[in-house]
Structure 1
């Protein structure tokens, strides 16, 4: 009797999981398999690795380098700044203000894409509010030393949604640092800097690594913000994939799909490192 009930419960659990499995199959597994299939076929329909060889062309290699550089810089800025801002929010005495700041971070990190790009154009474009304020009030010309349509402008725009994401990721990690540990360190003569260097940061290290690689993957896969701000002026992987699939001049879906597969490998590696770091970080929260 118990065995039959257990089997029924197991079947019910699988039935409940079925919609999720079908969703993953339809929107993740099947598209990836189609990408792999189409990336190894030429325009004539013959099996070839030429698409992957053409990705080694300077234009596409530069796009990978630019994407890795942009993702790395914004992830590093977001991780470092998010650490300090997250700690300030975590230590904020008012629970109401703390919840408000966390909610604001949640909203801000989801404000990306074309709306964010247009907001930055209105504020920091060549005729933007801040640009004109500096010019008319202080006599300072931001352009051409800085341009929101350049690589440095993209860094600023990406940090806008990277930073609050890191804040949301790091705040729970501070809960792994027990108050008793700090009191014990103080009793043993350790000052604040010694506590954080020898105890705090080692405990937070897995969460910081997890946050960094997640921010890296988040920036690497971004498309709309970069496309709206730079168009074809800056070569990024996501933009080149779009140009090769939907463009007229660079139209070559096979190359775009090969680039997409290589991007998936980079993203998958990042997510794998993220999961390993999260598992390590959860050990401290269980103690």
Structure 2
């Protein structure tokens, strides 16, 4: 080392700060406990009950069986599961296709009040479901609804109490949910990317096709998964509006628990719930790897 060159020793980190850093994981303990109690224990109970049959009514003793899981993918239960998947996938796809252009239009609007109004309304409508939503649609588009009578929709084959009617009702809260979900991802698209595409003489359509949509695809898929899960788990709206007209897995679980069809089918209801969990896990398995890829671009 040359003469006259001074070296500065690194300042040691205070012992108290090192201690806090070493125990920073303690801050996650409440979240882990909540997850364990709110999700872990019910999941274990569902899996255990799905493979159990009560053999003693007085003591509640049970034995291992696969009959519940086998029965849950046969007959009317299998039909209800497929119908729920079909309804959820269709409404999630339509909700994604409609929600993304709305969110983009709101973000590019010059009117700030419009953006705030749409996002606020989306936050309200995304949580407007259950019995109030069913009542609103029955009063508006039911057989004696105001719009049904005004436009004579019944003469054109319209029926609210059908698969199509339930799809329209679900879109009422799924489209606003998609607007809220995709807005942060759209905000993450950098202006430099569009400018670079324009400098290379790319049209707006080419920019969206080759730049924006590939980057947004994991976020779009994530929104689709969220909409799929919301529609897949919805119960009150369908129960109040269509009843048993449209077979749904959530309705089958409720009937099995309440004994509307057969008494003592609680374990079968748990097996049906396990089927729903498996479907959700399979969908999430496709989404998570793509989400990590998108995060590298939008971060």
Query: TM-score of the superposition, structure 2-length normalised?
Result: 0.87
Structure 2 counterpart SS, 1:126: coil
Kindly tell me: are residues 52 and 144 of structure 1, through their superposed partners in 2, closer, same or farther at Cα, counting changes over 3 Å?
A: farther
- What is the match of residue 176 of structure 1? 188
Structure 2 counterpart SS, 1:42: strand
Correspondence list, 1:48-87, <5 A:
48-87=65-104
* Distance in 1 separating the partners of 2:292 and 2:34: 26
Which of 29, 49, 65 is residue 38 of structure 1 equivalent to? 49
Structure 1 residue 101: deviation in Å? 0.9
Q: Is the 8 A contact 1:175 1:285 kept in 2?
A: no
Correspondence list, 1:86-101, <5 A:
86-101=103-118
Structure 2, gaps ≥5 residues long? 1-12, 56-61
Indicate whether 1:221 and 2:233 are aligned: yes
* Distance in 1 separating the partners of 2:262 and 2:67: 16
Q: Is the 8 A contact 1:126 1:147 kept in 2?
A: yes
Which of 167, 172, 175 is residue 163 of structure 1 equivalent to? 175
Indicate whether 1:115 and 2:132 are aligned: yes
Structure 1, gaps ≥5 residues long? 135-139
Indicate whether 1:256 and 2:269 are aligned: yes
Correspondence list, 1:128-207, <5 A:
128-134=145-151, 140-142=152-154, 145-207=157-219
Divergent runs of 4+, >6 A: none
- What is the match of residue 269 of structure 1? 282
* Distance in 2 separating the partners of 1:144 and 1:230: 19
Structure 1 counterpart SS, 2:294: helix
Number of residue pairs the alignment of both structures matches: 280
Structure 2 counterpart SS, 1:119: helix
- Structure ID, larger Rg: 2
- What is the match of residue 36 of structure 2? 25
Structure 1 residue 187: deviation in Å? 2.3
* Distance in 2 separating the partners of 1:282 and 1:219: 26
* Distance in 2 separating the partners of 1:144 and 1:267: 37
Structure 1 counterpart SS, 2:154: coil
